Amino acid sequence: MNDYLPKKELEPEPDPKKPSTARLAIWIIVGAIGLYLVGSGIWGIVAGG
C-alpha cells in the first residue's frame, strides 16, 4: 500500500452532516424520557387520576 502517504490522506473524510455517537445517544435517552412522561400523563387522564 502507499505507506509513504500521511495517515490523514489515506483515511476517508468523515461526513460533516452525520451526528456523533454521543449526540445520538443523548437524543435517544431524552426521547425515551419524554415518551415516558407523555405516556404516563395520558395513562393518568384515561385512568381518571
For residue 27, is it within any domain?
Answer: yes
Side-chain-facing half-sphere of 19: CA atoms under 13 Å: 8
Return the C-alpha cell found at 44.
Answer: 393518568
**Per-residue confidence (pLDDT) for residue 49, from 0 to 100:** 65
Is the confidence at residue 23, as pLDDT, over 60? Answer: yes
Give pLDDT, residue 39: 97
CA angle 10-16-19, nearest 5°? 115
- Look at residue 12 and tell me if it is in a domain: no
Report d(CA 36, CA 32) in Å as an integer: 6
pLDDT for residue 40 is more than 60: yes
Decide if 23 is inside a domain.
Answer: yes
> Contact at 8 Å (CB) between 23 and 31?
no
Domain residues for the domain of 35 are 19-49
| Per-residue pLDDT at 45 | 93
Total of domains in the chain = 1
Res 3: pLDDT: 66
- pLDDT, tens digit (0-9, with 9 covering 90-100), for 7-17: 777 777 777 88
**Does residue 2 lie in a domain region?**
no
Output the CA torsion 44→45→46→49 (10° steps). Answer: 60
